[in-house]
Every structure is written in C-alpha cells, then in structure tokens.
Structure 1
Amino acid sequence: MDNPLTWPVKIMAANSMYQIDRTILLARGNKEIDEGLFDHLSVMIVDILAASHTNLPQVITMKCHHNSQKKRQKSVHKAALFLGETKEILKILQQREIPSLDPDEATYIDEWRTFIEEDNGNSMASISSIGSETQQSNEEHVAIELYS
C-alpha cells in the first residue's frame, strides 16, 4: 500500500473517518444507538479538533517564514485568514477543558489519548485497547499535519 502521506486529502479524510467510525462501533458493541452515542461522538470530535489546533502557532509561524517578500506577504495573508477561520472553533473548544500538555506533546494524538484515559478513568480504556489491537494489525495509520 502507498505511503498514506502521499494520499489525496479526500482519501486521507475518508480513511480517518473510517477509523473513527470503526473505533466507535467497536467500543459501543451491540448497544442501542442512543443519546450516549451522540455524547461519545461529540467528545471525540472536540478532542480531535482540540488536538489538531494545538500546533496552530507552529503552522502560522511556518506560513510566515519565506525568503521572498511576495511569498511572505501572501503567506502572512493566508495565515491571518486561517487564524480568523479557527476563531469560532476555538470559542467552542473553550467550553471544554484543554489539557495542560507541553506544546510539543500536544501535537501527538497518543499524548491526548493518555490524558483522556487518565482524566476519564476506565471510560476510554476500551477505546485505547481497540486502538492497540488495530496497531498490531496490517492496517496503516495516518498522522495528519497542517501544511500549506
């Protein structure tokens, strides 16, 4: 199988959605679909969004560093737009406590998973064990980093 980092963005997104759905379904077992599932899904979405926005300063810094003035000006403009687009998401995320992880640790989903497990006790243990089973299989996992 090709390197997932070379996949088109839509394929990467579809694969990520598949992995998330699979984790939810395996964690829920044959339980009825109820409000608990919606709450569980909402928490997962917020956690993923929070984790993906923790490296926002690094992304903006990368966008602003170019040698030519024309490229730098265009990149700074894009970075400002990107920052503006995330303001609404960040407002929503402020409703949920963001862990006090080291900025370098916060960019790794495993660190978030560890924090959530410690924070929620055994409620996330089943999801963690599902993730470790998947990692031992032949499936490939995709780490998404924000580049432009």
Structure 2
Amino acid sequence: MKAGRTKIRYPSELLADDGTRVTVRAPWAGAGVRDFGFVRFEAGDVFTEYYWRDRWYAVKEVRTGTGTLKGWYCDITRPAVRTGAELVVEDLDLDLWRSADGTDVRRLDEDEFAASGLAERDPGAAAAAVAALDTLERLARGDGFGALLM
C-alpha cells in the first residue's frame, strides 16, 4: 500500500512466520527492468523479504536468478499486517540500499517523503519512519545488519 492505495500486489512463498517477523520469497514482480544506477532489478531476480509486525521497515535481500547477492533494499513502512495468506504493508516513501559488500549504503527518496505530507498528516508516523531509517542506516554501516535477518 502507498497513500491508502494498492501500489503493487504479487504472489510469494511463505518461508516463516514466528508471530513477529514474516519471511517470504518472491521473484522480481516489476514490469521490465528497474535500473537505479547503483543496482538493477530485472526478470529472474529473487527477493527474500523480511517484514515485522513491530518495526517500521521491511528488508529485501536481492539475488540474481543464479544466486549472486546484489544487496538489500529496505523499505520504511508501517508495521506489517498478515491476514490469512495476505501480507499488507504501507510504504512510507523512505528507502535504504546496502550493496552486497556493504560499501555502498544510501538513503533514498527523502524528497518523496518530504513531499508526501506525512509529517503534517501524521507527525507520529513520520517520526517513527525517520527513526526507522536512521536505525537501518546505522545497522547497514556496522556489524549488526546480518544479525537483523537471523
């Protein structure tokens, strides 16, 4: 979900749900290639996605179809909600990328977040989103990132 509307819907395989974290695997669901300049998402890529019911982010491990790790794309979201076979998260526009080797960590879409008006509509959610991005960036730049996904 984004701004109250369905942004994208795609099938995935449930790998685990421990009551707090939900892990799914899905092929790249976008239309065609998405080239960010620092990474390309394309047909054949496989995403292992980690969602939390108590955290304001989702972490997506991105691999090629042959298993080569590209890196992690992190979305800042409201906590995930799973109802039956459906997992719903609301994208809050902020993102973070961490390359496979950890040398490229970058905050993304801060301009979209500012333009979204969330800070005016829901200051608490906006503060939680910024705090989540700060936390993910700190983890991505340090040794704690791998433990996040264990």
Same topology, TM > 0.5: no
When normalised by structure 1's length, the TM-score is: 0.28
When normalised by structure 2's length, the TM-score is: 0.28
Ranked by relative contact order (alpha carbons within 8 Å, sequence separation 6 or more), the top structure is: 1
Larger Rg: 1
Which structure dedicates a bigger proportion of its chain to strand?
2
Which structure dedicates a bigger proportion of its chain to helix?
1
